[in-house]
Amino acid sequence: MYKAIVINKDESGYRANLQTLDESALPEGDVTVKVDYSCLNYKDGLAITGKGPVVRKFPMTPGIDLAGSVVSSEHPAFAVGDAVVLNGWGVGEGHPGGLAQMARLKGDWLIPLPAGVTPRQAMAVGTAGYTAMLCVLGLEKSGVTPDQGEILVTGAAGGVGSVAVAILARLGYTVVASSGRPEETDYLKTLGAAEVMDRKLLSEPGKPLARERWAGAVDTVGGHTLANVCASTKYLGTVTACGLAGGADLPATVMPFILRGVTLKGIDSVMAPKAARLEAWERIGVDLDMDKLELMVNEIGLDEAIETAGRLLEGKVRGRTIVNVNR
């Protein structure tokens, strides 16, 4: 028997609750994992509350991330006792996910837990932090270097933004954090932000081209914010886009791209190939200050995840929320 959050949708409506299930309820897969920690991401919040079309079949256990140990395996890459981490692959959407004490998965979706990283730390990183690292790698591979000027991070007090600020600052970039929560200014500066700016300066309709300021950016917001970021990015700068907390539309013009050569680089973490995942996690182990990571963490038990998901969507949760599924 194991505990899991289960989402159902039927004539009674859409609902999520904590249930105790028999192991026979586990889906098909070649690796069974005893889950130690999961976490709450924006997508998990949408799934649990039903405020976004995330879940593709019912019943469904949400949780796009998990870290734990293998208890049985028919996959050649994994043996009993191996520590593993999972991010994405549609888990928690079309395949039962990590907000449970047990999970059965395809071994091809798993990667070994990086040396020196605990399951708790892995979920403090989670998809949010792994996505942030993919964004940083995107900037680096586009040639953006610390000496070229300021890097903007939007939605900076959220999970992706917090980790991006910490990593970029540690790598020597001058980071400007955009946030709608002025009470988080000290927190963001502790993570390494040189300046914190009000998100309202970016969230309203702006000019097709604005004064050049950013050498690069990590955008988690989308909408008018992303359009304004592109419009104010320097010649040959790069903007990595990975979120839509402010909207899925992009009310922009081609001007920044054809007059300044700005690159808008989309970042997908869900279906990223294994090589990219391994590179990102290797760099996380080196470039993310684990003491700063701890400043971002709010730990809850599995029975608190449903209520916390609603608060997450309301923008009332700072940093990273990890779920101790056995608490």
- Cα–Cα distance between 30 and 34 in angstroms, integer? 14
Burial bucket for residue 141 (CB in 10 Å: 0-12, 13-18, 19+): exposed
- Cα–Cα distance between 238 and 187 in angstroms, integer? 26
**In the chain, where are the structural domains located?**
2-113+292-324, 127-266
CA-to-CA separations, 37 to 26, 32, 160, 249, 252, in angstroms, rounded: 18, 15, 18, 34, 40
Look up residue 243 and give its two tokens: 């979120």
CA atoms within 13 A on the CB side of 279: 13
Amino acid found at 53: P
Q: What is the pLDDT of residue 283?
A: 95
Closest CA to 75 of 114, 127, 111: 111
Closest CA to 234 of 173, 146, 149: 149
- Indicate if the alpha-carbon torsion angle 154, 156, 158, 160 is positive or negative: positive
- Cα–Cα distance between 36 and 68 in angstroms, integer? 5
274-287 vs 119-141: helix crossing angle, rounded to 10: 100
Backbone torsions φ then ψ of 301, nearest 5 degrees: -90, 170
CA-to-CA separations, 90 to 43, 60, 171, 175, 199, in angstroms, rounded: 11, 12, 31, 32, 31
Amino acid found at 127: T
Contacts of residue 323, defined as CB under 8 A and 6 or more positions apart, other chains included, come to 37, 38, 39, 40, 63, 99, 123, 299, 300, 301, 302, 304, 305
Q: What is the pLDDT of residue 115?
A: 87
Q: What is the pLDDT of residue 304?
A: 97
Count of C-beta atoms within a 10 Å radius of residue 300: 17
User: CATH homologous superfamily for 127-266?
Assistant: NAD(P)-binding Rossmann-like Domain (3.40.50.720)
Backbone torsions φ then ψ of 244, nearest 5 degrees: -140, 35
Tens-digit pLDDT string for the chain (327 aa): 999 999 999 988 999 999 999 999 999 999 999 999 999 998 999 999 999 899 999 999 999 999 999 999 999 999 999 999 999 999 999 999 999 999 999 999 999 998 889 999 999 999 999 999 999 999 999 999 999 999 999 999 998 999 999 999 999 999 999 999 999 999 999 999 999 999 999 999 999 999 999 999 999 999 999 999 999 999 999 999 999 988 899 999 999 999 999 999 999 999 999 999 999 999 999 999 999 999 999 999 999 999 999 999 988 888 899 999 998
**Radius of gyration of the chain from Cα atoms?**
20
Amino acid found at 55: V
pTM of the model: 0.89
CATH placement of domain 2-113+292-324: 3.90.180.10
Q: What is the pLDDT of residue 316?
A: 87
- Cα–Cα distance between 117 and 285 in angstroms, integer? 7
